[in-house]
Structure 1
Amino acid sequence: MVVGIHRKTYAKVDLSAIKHNIVVEKKQLANKQNIFAVVKANAYGHGIIEVAKAAHEVGVAGYCVAIIDEALALRKAGLNELILVLGVNPFEYASLMAKNNISATVGDIDFLKKAQVVLSTEKQQLSVHLALDTGMGRIGFRTQKELREAADFIKQHSTEFNFEGIFTHFSTADSGEKVAVDYYEKQIAEFNELISCLEELPEYVHVANSAASIWHKECGGNTIRFGITMYGLNPSSDELSIPSEFKPAISLLSEVAAIKKIKKNDSVGYGKTYTAKEDEWIATIPIGYADGWLRKMQGFKILIADHFCEIVGRVCMDQIMVKVPWKMAVGTTVILIGKKGQKEIRVQDVADQVGTIHYEVTCLISERVPRIY
């Protein structure tokens, strides 16, 4: 993907806000738990290497990523803390992960048995975190029998495996609705029941994500997987409140690339979905759905020269058209996400417009939009 360094559309990432949010989280933790900084998916669109280095500066126990390639990128960048790949992988990659000191998520005994042969041949040891499926229905052991078998196998093959961690993932910790709270309580009870069969727990027991660390401090464990709130965003969207100390870290900006006056009854954009009711000034902004600014953003208002201005006509692949109150100068700053004075466009506002969650909004900001730190 070519990064757009020759156009003034970019995401501005405030690394000081990310470091601040980690410090705030540490102060919130009652039992001084460890923090794993979750930097998967290019740090939720914020930039994996830069965010990981910022987290390193304020002290984290490790990082969580989704895929091996993300872990390898962190190692190449010189980060030496624990790195856990949250997704499961084929046993053929056991040697690669061991060689690079990357911790593997394990959710079935078959991986362990096949990986043991590989690791034994290569004379390597792999650190593993056992995933427990307590109700997410995604990956992990579901019964005490399965878990005991895996733990016993690891113990019997301690030359090839280091039992480093155990975890589960909550599916409803970000909601205050009774049905969601009840399900969260069911999951934590299931987790505690499962681990009760183990003679000894590993070094890292991590059950809390950002949501659980804020609203369910009683969930236990000695480590927090700190994800969306590290970026200053609310895990529950607007349903529940988070401490006001957390600061959003990302802004999305561009500029007016062209300006023209159209006449009453003139139309704008593909499909003739907007027709002017009077003579109007139309500004063209160089951002579109190929940048992650989706077609559903038609009708949304963005900030130009301290005015909320409506996107008119369909969002194009590379450009949008916006109705503005006067002939604005080419080069005028445009705020698509961010704040100026008392006026603000939140990531959540964008998510509400397209009917999704803010996680998806930041992850969709494409690679051709440069990140400025």
Structure 2
Amino acid sequence: MDKTESFFRDTWAEVNLDAIRENVMNIKAGLPGKTAFMAVVKANGYGHGAFDIATDALQAGAEFLGVSMLDEAISLRRSGISAPILVMGLIRPRDITVAAKWDVAVTAFQEEWLAEAEAYLEKGGSRISCHVKLDSGMGRLGLRTPAEAKSFAKKIKGSANFTADGLYTHMATADELDTAYFDEQVKRADELVGAFEEAYGSEVGWKHCSNSATALRFSLEKYNLVRVGISMYGLAPSPEIKPVINQELKEAFSLHSKITHVKKVAAGEGISYGATYQTEEEEWIATVPIGYADGWIRKNQHGDVLVNGKRAPIVGRICMDQMMIRLEGPVDIGTTVTLIGENGGAFLPMDEVAARLETINYEIPCTITPRVPRCIIRDGKVAVVHNSVF
């Protein structure tokens, strides 16, 4: 990999688009009937890079893209993405003209919002595609009762500018083995969909409630679209359901650096701030140029990395830009260190880092900061390098 003119510090992430495409195709192949696939690329594609992920997910068979904010949708449009995009968060009413300009579908569920947004539009002019959010038990956004669903359906049916092209909800516990709450949510969602369509006077085209966990575990005949996020990136929605997922998932994100200094340290020496780590005997200590400013936070102390296919522990406090590791013996300066991913036939999974930090795997790539360049791998080689610093 020639990075000479792409970045000037040997710390980088790799995003394997070959894995993304394979995950999309395999997940899509396991869906019932003609179920459509929405690739969720919010949060800059979960830290992987929204444009590259979106492009390859669409090529692999995804029909829709899902984002959280209007800004994310516009960024994709400006990059040349023409596929349908749904903003899953609530936009400001005054920004509805921007959504219309960029042909972006919006989430709606508040009658007051609908009236205020319509006031910004020329009556009978712009037609805005809406996916109506139903709160079946997530407790976040959406219509909560059949009465609310019926009332909103009548309002949007009478709108001169808005059409209800979708109905959707979000499952709160699909990544848990106990399905009692999930089953209750499905029941409530079905009731809300029925109430809305009854008042709307026709069937709504797209109905979706399946996140990654739901799409991989359940077949829901009444719904014809799935929203796949974390599993598209090759990660299980939770460690709990990992054993019951039959679908093979290939991790797309890996994180690497290179050793900048190696030294033999005598027993009783302190390493890093606070000298919290003390060498117990003569030890080989290496310095690696990655730190908490890169999103490799201090809580990663005591975790392992991979060097030449072997585990090496992180020792001492992680600094803003650097950290230290303990080696079994001397290695060459410039030797690759893998923090997430494959190295020398060994593999350090994202889930291990998440467990170490007492969080979920979703959070890890999202928190690796933009100053870590992303090397985009396509067809087994580096296609492009994104470096927000240089």
Q: Same fold (TM over 0.5)?
A: yes
Q: Does 1:317 align with 2:320?
A: yes
Q: Which residue of 2 aligns with 1:194?
A: 192
Asked if the contact 1:176/1:240 (under 8 Å) is kept, the reply is no
What are the superposed Cα offsets for residues 23-51 of structure 1, whole Å, 9 maximum, x if unpaired? 00111112220000000011111100110
Please identify, of 235-244 and 201-210, the stretch whose mean Cα deviation from structure 2 is larger.
235-244
CA distance in 1, matches of 2:145, 2:292: 44
Q: Does 1:43 align with 2:84?
A: no
TM-score when scaled to structure 2?
Answer: 0.91
Asked if the contact 2:40/2:227 (under 8 Å) is kept, the reply is yes
Cα gap change, 1:104 to 1:344, in 2 (>3 Å): same
Q: Which residue of 97, 100, 109 maps to 1:98?
A: 100
TM-score when scaled to structure 1?
Answer: 0.95
What are the superposed Cα offsets for residues 268-298 of structure 1, whole Å, 9 maximum, x if unpaired? 1112210000111111101111111111111
Q: Which residue of 1 aligns with 2:143?
A: 141
Asked if the contact 2:20/2:252 (under 8 Å) is kept, the reply is yes
Task: Give the gaps of 5 or more residues in structure 2.
Answer: 377-390
CA distance in 1, matches of 2:241, 2:193: 32
What are the superposed Cα offsets for residues 111-135 of structure 1, whole Å, 9 maximum, x if unpaired? 1111111123593221111101111
Alignment-mate amino acid for residue 270 of structure 2:
S
Q: Which residue of 2 aligns with 1:333?
A: 336
Alignment-mate amino acid for residue 193 of structure 1:
E
Q: Does 1:184 align with 2:186?
A: no
Task: Give the gaps of 5 or more residues in structure 1.
Answer: none
Asked if the contact 1:298/1:312 (under 8 Å) is kept, the reply is yes
Q: Which residue of 2 aligns with 1:368?
A: 371
CA distance in 1, matches of 2:222, 2:334: 52
Cα gap change, 1:72 to 1:215, in 2 (>3 Å): same
Q: Which residue of 1 aligns with 2:382?
A: none
Q: Which residue of 1 aligns with 2:386?
A: none
Q: Does 1:87 align with 2:89?
A: yes
Give every structure 1 segment of 4 or more consecutive aligned residues whose post-TM-superposition deviation is greater than 6 Å.
Answer: none
Asked if the contact 1:4/1:369 (under 8 Å) is kept, the reply is no
CA distance in 2, matches of 1:162, 1:76: 25
CA distance in 2, matches of 1:335, 1:238: 26
Q: Which residue of 343, 348, 351 maps to 1:345?
A: 348
Aligned residues: 367
CA distance in 1, matches of 2:291, 2:365: 14
Aligned with 2:242: secondary structure?
A: coil
Cα gap change, 1:139 to 1:219, in 2 (>3 Å): farther
CA distance in 1, matches of 2:217, 2:62: 21
Alignment-mate amino acid for residue 125 of structure 2:
K
Shift of 1:92: 0.8
CA distance in 2, matches of 1:273, 1:217: 52
Cα gap change, 1:122 to 1:365, in 2 (>3 Å): farther
Q: Which residue of 1 aligns with 2:176?
A: 175
Q: Which residue of 2 aligns with 1:164?
A: 165
CA distance in 1, matches of 2:122, 2:190: 33
What is the root-mean-square deviation in Å for CA atoms of aligned residues? 1.5
Cα gap change, 1:362 to 1:238, in 2 (>3 Å): farther
CA distance in 2, matches of 1:53, 1:299: 38
